[in-house]
Amino acid sequence: MSILINKNSKILVQGFTGTEGSFHASQMIEYGSQVVGGVTPGKGGSQHLDRPVFNSVADGVKQTGANVSIIFVPPAFAADAIMEAAEAGIELVVCITEGIPVQDMVNVKSYLQGKNTRLIGPNCPGVITAEECKVGIMPGFVFVKGRIGIVSKSGTLTYEAADQVAKAGLGISTAVGIGGDPIIGTTIKEAVELFMNDPETEAIVMIGEIGGGMEAEAARWIKANGNTKPVVGFIAGQTAPPGRRMGHAGAIVGGAEDTAAAKMQIMSECGIHVVSSPADIGIKMASILKK
């Protein structure tokens, strides 16, 4: 089992023939993901990477049955690409694009209300179900198959957590990089809830950072729902100065609960096993599961 994607997922690449789309689509194909085609307006009817190119997502869905899309479209056009995918009935949209204007994402969030489309991102590394399917830009070789779910705001720390889990003799069910922008599609709580309901995920790694309230929201949801699976948590930005954005657009301390220390305390109070260094994630998880 897994969440969001598996070996049967059929993937369209929006921005297929561009430099980024081409490179990462080829990596996804090499990993074994079912990339069934791509979308580049004006190039419909051609072939790229031995896959068909379509002028629109709707054409691609009609001809391939695709249910997942990944977006490598420039920031000015990325919001339209997300909405086009949703309009075409794509169930999971993974938006890699960084730098989408906040107002554009406000419009996207409003548009997606009531639609049967889940958005991951933007400004994220994507989703990977270990040794089955990769819809993103992460290095696939890091992810060993197993029963630990990962949800993270940080792409780099997603890979680090997967590596630490593997070194501890464990493996990954699915890893979800939700992105670090102020407005994103899927929150930490929503990803945690998916993992809690997945019978093949035994435990969860939750990686947050300064800024916003998603970590506290997720921690309180976990406590309210009985801590049914162990969660190891880490918060990046422990030395960040207040009022200064660090890396991600959403990583800025704006309130008392936005600091790393406050988030770590809330998580601990809610029964999450908090570590102060990402190097301790795998060790802590292994020790919990051996009890």
- Catalytic choice (24, 48, 248, 273): 248
- From the list 86, 91, 162, 167, the residue with the least C-alpha distance to 129 is 162
- Residue 273 annotated as catalytic: no
Backbone φ, ψ for residue 105 (5° rounding): -75, -30
DSSP string for 106-169: HHHHHHHTTSS-EEE-SSS-EEEETTTEEEESS-GGG--EEEEEEEES-HHHHHHHHHHHHHTT
φ and ψ at residue 86, rounded to 5 degrees: -65, -40
**Which residues are designated catalytic?**
248
